[in-house]
């Protein structure tokens, strides 16, 4: 079993979600290319310019100087050509309607900073420090600002950009002033940036050690060096100046010469299918004068795939629906398990934890194999242990588990005197609930082929796992192991891959095989042959680790004449139909969204090999059949699933049928006769939709009748009464009939009616029950 701390640590340290795209580390300005491109993709040139301007200081100058080192790193360089970022930079400058800088109304700072050299690097440093309202003095040996720019571009072009960017800032410019002694500067200033150009004076502070470090802290406190003095090209020199400004700002505040570690590469990994989808479209060629029109720029920006490691979020419905990725999930779950207040406010992820299908796809698609689903499962356990998970999210399903393992539904049969080895058919609790014939026909087949096959009808404990009740689950595993040992350690034949997965995870000593593999190996005679047609197999997510089982289903289908067409998600990347985690009570809206998505994954009818997938899709109107429907020639494409109450009756019928057929049991087990309950189909549907069982309704009516506690409406003669089923309070509206009751309505709430509090001592609690 995984450890939650280890999983947390993996999410924090190994998740690549926040890694830079390939291009950014090579950019001297570390421009946020993804955001820049996003703005251009939607045609927001002003916003793109603002971002670019903030990153490069002098947008007009830098867009002309930039050598686009990012293009050598671009993942599209072999898929139509690297995104033409330099042309896009120029386009954002060309088409921005407002190129003036922002004016920041900040209080002036007392600290004085000296800049030696008025080239692009010194000016960039001065600009940022002036933006932060430092008192900045620039010393320039020559009679003009711009340094190397004079030889690179027309002076009016770069001088206009410099003037524009400094339009709201004050600074002292001392031309024709050569600094020869740094000590003098350091006496009068808090820090100094030396950017004296390619062959400029480094004041003997430049060493091999400082060159390798950018931005450049010298060995003298408060002195920093950068720009072409340190070998930088023109664009990089500007970047040095901007970075030095950040470090000087930090130095003045903290006295620490070391700035943040420079960005060193990226660990990003992206799904190669993303590139394949681009179709290798080539770089947009500028139509006029080597510069893009607005439309061309937008089109070229759209070629960028904005590299991001987000496979989990792309494939996992939960992450997509909530727009949350692993790091944020980890943070929110952490504060939910460890709330900051005594009354437990701010537990933002409670419902989210209960909304994970636990399908494991996140781990499957993650390049680092981070198991966010398991992290949520273990978090769920912790929440339950602390009694912090609302009981309502899972109580219904835990009661369903209880029913499946009750004497009315559970059953074990050993043919003849086989008590050693052989096989054990474990159909799971939902297959028979969906249709008893699935289990009966499958078992008959198995007995025909392998007479030493026992049968065990019970729940594997999945609802306990999904509700976070690991103690209950451990107890079920212990019971199953005892039974399995008693049966002589047989190989277990599974019809449900969820049961199989849970067995394998918790009882790895039990050998398993899928029913469909046995059917294929033994050559089952299908009742239905040649209803030719195209179908898609919707694999259950739990069959991810069982390729033989998945293939067996497809082979069986082909034998009956079907042509199988693939779905976008199948096999190892199968997605959950919505059943996993039993999330529908915790989050009905998300469940509905997910089911709708799943039924539209493929246009063709689905063949499934999980009865839960079948029943969920059939209820949503998708043409769907279980592979056993095909094999045994049973239900057609639009067969409605049984109601939740019907599922319980099916389990009981199945148990009774098997007991009568195999054990000669005459009397129905647990023989208390239930009163007849009649209702309209609309009420029946409502009960099913709101997960109110007919058994619960009968319990409430019995309580009302035996205690006399109810009220009636004189206009209709209907009685209304309530009773608690588990923690739930269920209300019924009914009338008594000759042979039972007629139900008109039922509804339930999670709040408990606190009777003893209410009646202020006029009645005792016992009087009210």
Residues lying near another protein in the complex (CB under 8 A) are found at: 344-345, 347-348, 350-351, 390, 392-393, 704, 708-715, 719-720, 722, 731, 745, 747-755, 757-759, 762-763, 767-768
As a whole number of angstroms, the distance between CA 38 and CA 422 comes to 62
Rounded to a whole number of angstroms, the minimum distance from the CB of residue 734 to another protein is 12
Q: What are the strands of the beta sheet with 491-494, ordered from one edge?
A: 411-413, 453-457, 423-426, 491-494, 512-514
Rounded to a whole number of angstroms, the minimum distance from the CB of residue 393 to another protein is 8
Indicate the SS3 state at residue 451. coil
Rounded to a whole number of angstroms, the minimum distance from the CB of residue 358 to another protein is 20
Q: What is the dihedral of CA 506, 507, 513, 514, to 10 degrees?
A: -40
**Two tokens, residue 559:** 């034998």
Indicate the SS3 state at residue 666. coil
* C-beta of 715 vs 738, nearer to another protein: 715
**Is-contact 46 287, C-beta < 8 A?**
no
Rounded to a whole number of angstroms, the minimum distance from the CB of residue 749 to another protein is 5
- Close Cβ partners of 681 (under 8 Å, ≥ 6 residues apart): none
**Is-contact 656 669, C-beta < 8 A?**
yes
Rounded to a whole number of angstroms, the minimum distance from the CB of residue 594 to another protein is 19
As a whole number of angstroms, the distance between CA 406 and CA 412 comes to 12
Rounded to a whole number of angstroms, the minimum distance from the CB of residue 680 to another protein is 16
Rounded to a whole number of angstroms, the minimum distance from the CB of residue 714 to another protein is 6
* C-beta of 121 vs 336, nearer to another protein: 336
* C-beta of 489 vs 729, nearer to another protein: 729
* C-beta of 671 vs 714, nearer to another protein: 714
Rounded to a whole number of angstroms, the minimum distance from the CB of residue 324 to another protein is 15
Which of 483, 510, 489 lies closest to 420, judged by CA? Answer: 489
Rounded to a whole number of angstroms, the minimum distance from the CB of residue 712 to another protein is 5
* C-beta of 258 vs 749, nearer to another protein: 749
Which of 525, 538, 605, 599 lies closest to 567, judged by CA? Answer: 538
As a whole number of angstroms, the distance between CA 138 and CA 128 comes to 13
Q: Half-sphere exposure of 260 toward its Cβ, with a 13 Å CA cutoff?
A: 7
As a whole number of angstroms, the distance between CA 588 and CA 666 comes to 42
* C-beta of 674 vs 750, nearer to another protein: 750
* C-beta of 346 vs 421, nearer to another protein: 346
As a whole number of angstroms, the distance between CA 713 and CA 720 comes to 8
Residue 755 CB neighbour total at 10 angstroms: 14
* C-beta of 499 vs 692, nearer to another protein: 692
The enclosing H or E element of 117 equals none
Rounded to a whole number of angstroms, the minimum distance from the CB of residue 301 to another protein is 39
* C-beta of 597 vs 742, nearer to another protein: 742
* C-beta of 512 vs 710, nearer to another protein: 710
- Close Cβ partners of 362 (under 8 Å, ≥ 6 residues apart): 312, 315, 316, 319, 326, 370, 371, 372, 373
* 299 alpha-carbon distance from chain centroid: 30
Rounded to a whole number of angstroms, the minimum distance from the CB of residue 690 to another protein is 10
**Is-contact 591 607, C-beta < 8 A?**
no
Residue 119: DSSP 8-state: B
* C-beta of 207 vs 769, nearer to another protein: 769
* C-beta of 204 vs 762, nearer to another protein: 762
What crossing angle do the helices spanning 45-56 and 33-41 adopt, rounded to 10°?
160
* The residue to which tokens 């067969």 are assigned: 639
Which of 227, 57, 194, 222 lies closest to 131, judged by CA? Answer: 57
Rounded to a whole number of angstroms, the minimum distance from the CB of residue 746 to another protein is 9
3-class SS string, 296-329? HHHHHHCCCCCCCCCHHHHHCHHHHHHCCCHHHH
As a whole number of angstroms, the distance between CA 743 and CA 446 comes to 43
Which of 249, 250, 228, 252 lies closest to 240, judged by CA? Answer: 228
* 317 alpha-carbon distance from chain centroid: 6
Rg (CA), the chain: 36
Rounded to a whole number of angstroms, the minimum distance from the CB of residue 673 to another protein is 25
* C-beta of 530 vs 753, nearer to another protein: 753
Rounded to a whole number of angstroms, the minimum distance from the CB of residue 405 to another protein is 28
CA 648, 653, 654: angle at the middle one, nearest 5? Answer: 100
Rounded to a whole number of angstroms, the minimum distance from the CB of residue 400 to another protein is 21
Indicate the SS3 state at residue 217. strand
* C-beta of 18 vs 752, nearer to another protein: 752
* C-beta of 661 vs 767, nearer to another protein: 767
């Amino acid at each position: 079993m995984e450890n939650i701390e280890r999983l947390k640590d993996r999410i924090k340290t190994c998740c690549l979600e926040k890694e830079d795209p390939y291009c950014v580390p090579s950019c001297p300005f570390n421009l946020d290319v993804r955001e820049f491109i996003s703005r251009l993709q939607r045609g927001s040139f002003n916003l793109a310019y603002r971002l670019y301007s903030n990153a490069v200081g002098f947008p007009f100058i830098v867009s002309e100087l930039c050598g686009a080192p990012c293009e050598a790193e671009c993942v599209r360089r072999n898929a139509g050509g690297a995104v033409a970022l330099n042309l896009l930079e120029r386009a954002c400058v060309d088409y921005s309607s407002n190129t003036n800088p922002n004016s920041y109304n900040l209080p002036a700072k007392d600290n004085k900073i000296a800049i030696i050299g008025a080239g692009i690097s010194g000016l960039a440093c001065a600009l940022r420090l002036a933006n932060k309202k430092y008192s900045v003095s620039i010393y320039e040996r020559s009679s003009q600002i711009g340094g190397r720019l004079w030889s690179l571009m027309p002076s009016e072009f770069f001088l206009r950009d410099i003037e524009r960017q400094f339009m709201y800032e004050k600074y002292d410019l001392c031309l024709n002033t050569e600094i020869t002694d740094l000590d003098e500067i350091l006496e009068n200033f808090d820090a100094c940036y030396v950017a004296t150009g390619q062959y400029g004076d480094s004041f003997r502070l430049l060493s091999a050690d400082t060159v390798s470090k950018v931005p450049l802290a010298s060995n003298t406190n408060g002195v920093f060096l950068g720009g072409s003095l340190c070998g930088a090209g023109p664009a990089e020199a500007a970047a040095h100046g901007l970075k030095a400004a950040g470090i000087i700002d930090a130095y003045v505040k903290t006295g620490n010469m070391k700035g943040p570690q420079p960005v060193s590469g990226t660990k990003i990994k992206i799904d190669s299918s993303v590139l394949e989808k681009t179709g290798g479209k080539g770089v947009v060629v500028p139509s006029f004068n080597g510069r893009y029109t607005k439309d061309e720029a937008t089109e070229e920006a759209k070629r960028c795939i904005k590299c991001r490691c987000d496979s989990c979020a792309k494939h996992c419905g939960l992450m997509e629906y909530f727009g949350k990725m692993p790091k944020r999930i980890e943070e929110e779950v952490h504060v939910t398990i460890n709330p900051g207040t005594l009354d437990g406010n701010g537990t933002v992820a409670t419902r989210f934890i209960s909304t994970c299908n636990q399908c494991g796809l996140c781990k499957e698609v993650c390049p680092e194999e981070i198991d966010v689903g398991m992290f949520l499962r273990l978090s769920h356990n912790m929440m339950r242990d602390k009694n912090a998970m609302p009981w309502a999210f899972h109580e219904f399903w835990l009661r369903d588990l209880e029913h499946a393992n009750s004497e009315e539904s559970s059953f074990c049969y050993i043919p003849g005197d086989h008590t050693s080895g052989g096989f054990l058919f474990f159909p799971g609790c939902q297959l028979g609930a969906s249709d008893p014939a699935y289990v009966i026909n499958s078992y008959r087949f198995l007995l025909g082929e392998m007479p030493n096959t026992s049968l065990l009808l019970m729940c594997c404990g999945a609802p306990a796992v999904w509700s976070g009740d690991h103690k209950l689950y451990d107890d079920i595993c212990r019971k199953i192991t005892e039974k399995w040992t008693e049966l002589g350690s047989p190989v277990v034949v599974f019809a449900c891959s969820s049961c199989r997965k849970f067995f394998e995870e918790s009882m790895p000593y039990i050998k398993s095989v899928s029913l469909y593999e046995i059917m294929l190996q033994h050559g089952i005679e299908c009742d239905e042959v040649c209803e030719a047609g195209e179908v898609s197999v919707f694999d259950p997510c739990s069959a991810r680790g069982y390729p033989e089982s998945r293939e067996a289903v497809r082979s069986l289908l082909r034998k009956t004449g079907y042509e199988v067409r693939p779905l976008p998600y199948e096999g190892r990347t199968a997605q959950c139909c919505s059943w996993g985690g039993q999330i529908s009570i915790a989050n009905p809206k998300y469940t509905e969204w997910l089911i709708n998505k799943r039924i539209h994954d493929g246009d063709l009818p689905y063949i499934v090999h999980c009865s839960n997938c079948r029943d969920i899709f059939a209820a949503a109107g998708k043409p769907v059949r279980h592979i056993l429907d095909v094999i045994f020639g049973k239900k057609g494409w639009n067969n409605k699933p049984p109601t939740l109450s019907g599922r319980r009756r099916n389990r009981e019928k199945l148990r009774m049928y098997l007991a009568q057929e195999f054990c000669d049991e005459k009397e129905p087990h647990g023989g208390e006769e239930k009163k007849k309950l009649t209702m309209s189909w609309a009420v029946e549907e409502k009960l099913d939709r709101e997960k109110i069982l007919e058994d619960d309704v009968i319990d409430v009516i019995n309580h009302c009748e035996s205690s006399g506690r109810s009220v009636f409406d004189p206009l209709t003669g209907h009685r209304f009464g309530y009773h608690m089923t588990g923690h739930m309070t269920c209300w019924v509206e009914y009338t008594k009939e000759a042979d039972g009751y007629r139900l008109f309505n039922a509804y339930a709430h999670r709040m408990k009616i606190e009777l003893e509090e209410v009646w202020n001592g006029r009645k005792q609690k016992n009087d009210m029950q």
